[in-house]
A and B are shown apart, each in its own frame.
Chain A
Amino acid sequence: MKVRLFFATDVHGSEVCWRKFINSASHYEADVLILGGDMTGKAIVPIVQTGPDHWRYHMLDITHELEGADELAKGERLIRDHGYYPVTLTPEERDEYTSDEDKLEELFHEQMRKTVASWVEWADAKLEGSNIQCIVCPGNDDRFDIDEILKTSKHIMVGEGNVLDLPEGYQLASSGWTNLTPWDTPREEDEPKLKERILSIVEQATVPPERLVLGLHAPPYDTQLDVAPKIDWETLTVQGQDSAHVGSTAVREVIEEVQPILSLHGHIHESRAAVRIGRTLAVNPGSSYVEGMVAGVVVDLDGKNKLKRYRLTSG
């Protein structure tokens, strides 16, 4: 029987994207949902209390003045939908976080844990009673403790480092680790170590390549899936119109050697594409989380040894 997968990635803290991802199973009539990493947000927006019932925050270069609890709740929701964490602070607290990096680091940690926990709770309620298999694999931007929070879910399976059974005898081998980036993120390492890590996961698979799906956050090097604006690693500025291949050679080598039926990637948001590497279809659906849109890919596997069709989506 046919199996339909829906894969999306890099929602980066956007609550609206997380909810859409969970709802995408019925939207695309998918049997399996896979989120390919980078769940957590990149920034905190301080909502500063300026009076007993008055707050102010600044987002996307616009200052918002909030009066009353209702407006505060609305503002928090807007911030979360953009992928940022809203935190209500006094001016003194804000200044403290500005000057104390460790304290800010702990605040980020707390927000990520809290948000992932609330997302898990929401997803569990939504997925209750459905036959949908939902797999989430953290990415290089996600800290390690979110894996533990995901494991508390009743309906979400954690991909990192595991080989998971999919319907009709397919298996998914996942890792959110990537090759080195200029941002020194939690799950990144040099290419030889990354290859070793991925191979050690793939070795756990018990199905032939035509029934194996890889879910690797880093895209394969030198493909259409890994093209990003060239940036200066010191200043983190874009270098003109120049682009560069920034994917992983380890990932490419593993795909070339193992030749799974499908290989799912993310990490490079602007490199939305699908390519064939030998017999493998490799896809990076990209990410449009900043727009509140879920960029994804629907893949139909024929239940035997062929990939019937795929389509990139934006919903």
Chain B
Amino acid sequence: MATDASKPAEQTLFVRKASGLVKGWSSTDGFRYSFFSTNIFLGIWGFLYAVFIPGGSVFWSIIICTLFVLLECVVYAGLISAMPRAGGDYVWQSRVFHSSVGFVFGATGWWFILWLWIPIYAALCVNSFINPIFRIVGLGSWADWLLTKNGVFVASLATIALATYLVAVGMKAYANFQKWALWIGLAGLIVGAILLIVTSKASFIAAFNREMFQQYGARDAYAATIKAAGEGMPSSMFAGTLKDTFYLLPVMAFWLLWPNWGATLYGEVRGAKDFRKNIYQMAGGLLSAVVIVIIFLFLVTKTMGWTFFEASANGYMGALYAYIDPAKLPAGGSYLSPTAMTAWIVNNSAFQVILIAAISLIVFGWWGTVFLSSTRMIFASAFDRILPEGVAKVTSGGVPVNALLLMAIPSVIVSAFYAYQPSFVSLTYDATLVIAAMFLMSGLAFMIMPWRAKAIWENSALPKIKIGIPLMSIVAAVYSAFMLFLLYKWIYDPDNLYGIGYKNKNSMIFMGILYVAGIVIWIIAWSVRKRQGMELEAVAKEIPVE
């Protein structure tokens, strides 16, 4: 039997009127979802950690990491195409491996670790947008307070409240808001890019020094920043050894791993075209974000100067991790938001505030949904009877109250640790590691699907090209190897480059608690359900056909 993906001109499918025959999610929506997820500001925030590996090339590490993440787009497009509407990583892994594997990796990756994303989101938002706006409008004391322990905690609580509110009542309006957020945010970015293009380095330095004097009382801040924190920083985004550039990949993964975050709405009359469309949507979002960031980095080099940009990041990280005296830094260790520095080029407070607010929509348009995927995961495991039925309870108004509590209460606790226990900040990359571990398992699930889930594989519209073994399995194997590399670098980290390896006991304990919690919940559920005569494994076991 020969197969060919070309489409003939004549009628190849007769469809009758039947429910559910829709034309699927539009490409624009899928693209928007992926673009928001590979959030460029997560990237800019993530670059801060590149200061710990100054010997690596930021530019080339982005390119290499992107190439590997493109494989992720293929793997996830394949999983979605083969098992649409299946509930994501949790169900894929349950079907291909075992219920326990699906739950432990699904729960830690989609549920527990998102507690840690809350204070990270809050910190990014406060530092990148809210504090710069406060300082521009003369509310420096508010900005200072937001950086105190109480301020960090309150910002996290506000993020929890917003995420809870959106899941509880506001998702519909938020979905509309996202559409506007993207376009306004992009318009803001274009204005910012134009400013950086038309501004000379000398003009930027003058504008930077002016604003730093007005806001922090610092004189000649540009030179002072380089003097205080520029030592050892690279002079170009291209400079670096191959080895150190590879060491930067785990840093870049912090923002590049997420184009597969959404895209769960698909029509039923689907095929290879849908598989390709899924890839285009995810890869489109990823590549657009990467192109924008690279353009930004070129403009930074031209207008701000690369050494200064790295020094500004190193100053913040140095103050945070106590290897640079904040008193020596013009901003006293405050984060110098690239968005704000761009806005400062125009000496007009109203313009600056509007531009920062517009650009911030690229972030606000996305992360209000931080609890959304978690509640889905909680529901799925409640319906499979791993969690008690009550967990999936919804109020008469449709609010998934218990699932939200399972997100909100631990998030408050984790946020409190983040705010009041200084060493907790160093766990930032745990937020990526735990999800990457889940992605690894899904990559492996896709790799062995042709053998372990043969019926699903054969029923799917995925290309069945073989090079000895199915091409899709080879793609998944390379992707999984990349995930393994990332995990290895994060965990086996003798130089403490990423701060979450075996040398950081807090990190090990924190992640250990998450995985043990997942295992304990599954074992309890397994033993309870076994006594009730409904074995957990049966939930995903295939029914015989003949």
Contacts and interface: CB of A to CB of B under 8 A. Distances in A.
Tell me whether A and B are bound partners: yes
Interface of A: 12, 16, 19-21, 23-24, 27-28, 38, 42-46, 48, 56-67, 71, 74-75, 78, 81-82, 84, 91, 94-95, 97-98, 104-105, 107-108, 140-141, 178, 181, 183-185, 222-224, 229, 231, 235-238, 240-243, 267, 269-270, 272-276, 286, 288, 290-294, 298, 300, 308-315
8 contacts: A94-B10, A95-B11, A97-B14, A223-B394, A240-B26, A240-B179, A292-B455, A311-B539
Contacts of B6: 63
B456 interface: yes
B393 A313 contact: no
A279 to B, nearest CB: 14
A75 B2 CA distance: 11
A62 B21 contact: no
Interface of B: 1-8, 10-26, 29, 33, 82-86, 91, 95, 172, 175-176, 178-179, 265, 267-274, 379, 383-385, 389, 392-394, 398, 455-456, 458-461, 529, 532-534, 538-546
A28 to B, nearest CB: 7
Contacts of B540: 313-315
Contacts of A241: 29, 33, 175, 178, 265
Contacts of A58: 7-8, 12-13
B19 A20 contact: no
Nearest to B398: A222
Contact of A19 (B270, B460, B545): B545
A42 B393 contact: no
Contact of A45 (B4, B13, B176): B13
Contacts of B398: 222-224
A235 B24 CA distance: 11
A59 B26 contact: no
- Top 6 closest A-B pairs, CB basis? A60-B271, A60-B461, A58-B12, A61-B271, A61-B272, A315-B543
Nearest to B272: A61
B84 A290 contact: yes
B14 A141 contact: no
A43 B15 contact: yes
Identify whether the interface residues of A are mostly helix, strand, loop, or mixed.
mixed
Given A42-B18, A229-B25, A311-B383, 14 more contacts: A24-B543, A48-B10, A60-B271, A95-B10, A104-B14, A183-B21, A185-B19, A222-B398, A272-B383, A274-B392, A286-B85, A288-B86, A311-B529, A313-B539
A273 B384 CA distance: 10
Contacts of B10: 48, 91, 94-95, 98
| Among B270, B398, B545, residue most surrounded by chain A Cβ atoms (within 10 Å) | B545
A28 B7 contact: no
A4 B394 CA distance: 26
A67 B10 CA distance: 20
A141 B21 CA distance: 11
Identify whether the interface residues of B are mostly helix, strand, loop, or mixed.
loop
A160 B21 CA distance: 24
A312 B22 contact: no
A312 B384 contact: yes
A95 B259 CA distance: 43
| Among A62, A241, A315, residue most surrounded by chain B Cβ atoms (within 10 Å) | A241
A99 to B, nearest CB: 9
Given A19-B546, A237-B26, A315-B541, A60 B272 contact: yes
Contacts of A300: 533-534
B532 A28 contact: no
Contacts of A298: 534
A61 B85 contact: no
Nearest to B262: A241
Contacts of A43: 13-16, 269
B270 A292 contact: no
B23 A61 contact: no
A299 to B, nearest CB: 10
| Among B20, B86, B455, B460, residue most surrounded by chain A Cβ atoms (within 10 Å) | B20
Nearest to B456: A291
A266 B447 CA distance: 33
Given A44-B14, A229-B265, A63 B534 contact: no
B429 to A, nearest CB: 29
B1 A65 contact: yes
A48 B33 CA distance: 40
Contacts of A269: 20, 85, 268
Given A74-B1, A224-B394, A309 B385 contact: yes
Contacts of B267: 238
Contacts of A184: 17
Contacts of B85: 269-270, 272, 286, 288
A231 B23 CA distance: 9
A286 to B, nearest CB: 7
B75 to A, nearest CB: 17
Contact of B545 (A16, A63, A273): A16
A227 B264 CA distance: 14
A43 B13 CA distance: 7
Contact of A315 (B11, B16, B21, B542): B542
Given A81-B459, A222-B398, A270-B85, A311 B384 contact: yes
B22 A229 contact: yes
A275 B394 contact: yes
A311 B25 contact: no
Given A231-B22, A241-B33, A185 B534 contact: no
A260 B3 CA distance: 51
B19 A314 contact: no
Given A20-B543, A27-B544, A183 B18 contact: yes
Contact of B18 (A97, A185, A222, A294): A185
Nearest to A81: B459
A56 B11 CA distance: 12
| Among B2, B33, B272, residue most surrounded by chain A Cβ atoms (within 10 Å) | B2
A179 to B, nearest CB: 11
B379 A314 contact: no
Nearest to A281: B389
Contacts of B539: 311-314
Nearest to B544: A23
A220 B394 CA distance: 14
| Among A20, A61, A276, A315, residue most surrounded by chain B Cβ atoms (within 10 Å) | A61
